[in-house]
Amino acid sequence: MARVSAERLTFAHPGVTVFADLGFTLSPGLTLVRGGDGRGKTTLLRLLAGELAPTGGTLSRRVGSLWWEQPGEPAHDAVVAREWLAERQAHFAGWRVDVAEALVEAFGLGEHLGKRMEMLSAGSRRKVGLVGAAASGATLTLLDTPWAALDARSARVLDELLAEAADDEARLWVVADHERPASLADVTWAGCIDLGD
């Protein structure tokens, strides 16, 4: 069983404390990292991913697999979307082909998978990433402002995906955004890490 917990977790740059003394334990299901601009949402996700080390306190991570992929980064520009997904499929032993295929259809991505990432809109690149996140089976799945740049139809698909994630008893899903989405008002969240406004 995956477990992630923190005690007095602090991250600071010289002269600037991003956040301090955070304490939490992540449980299976859906956790929100909420905060205003510049309050450290992405920084906290990077800490959870192991990309950064805390400057204070402790962070304990015991996870089988991690999804923290950024298809919007320029490094992926020349990669064909279908190949980008295939590379991730090869990396994740629990990859669900059926989930990937269903989401490709739901997001209307079929006609775009043969294009290089640089040819896709920001929203389409985000949708490719969401397909991978859902299909990966990753024990810890980190999503940074996942609704950004999505059209209304795709936002509803994401809502349905995360509503199912909230009931997941094996995977930890962590979503960072400015506020708790009104579209998920009826969902039972496993937790909320509030970084303030």
Domain boundaries, the chain: 1-64+141-146+166-197, 69-138
1-64+141-146+166-197: which CATH topology? Answer: Rossmann fold (3.40.50)
pLDDT (tens, 9 = 90+) of the chain, 197 residues, equals 678 999 999 999 999 999 999 999 999 999 999 999 999 999 999 999 999 999 999 999 988 899 999 999 999 999 999 999 999 999 999 999 999 999 999 999 999 999 999 999 999 999 999 999 999 999 999 999 999 999 999 999 999 999 999 999 999 999 999 999 999 999 999 999 999 99
8 A C-beta contact, residue 177 and residue 32: yes
Residue 79, token pair as written in the block: 């990669």
47 vs 12: CA distance, rounded Å: 12
* Count of C-beta atoms within a 10 Å radius of residue 180: 15
Query: In 3D, which of 160, 54, 71, 68 has the Cα closest to residue 120?
Result: 71
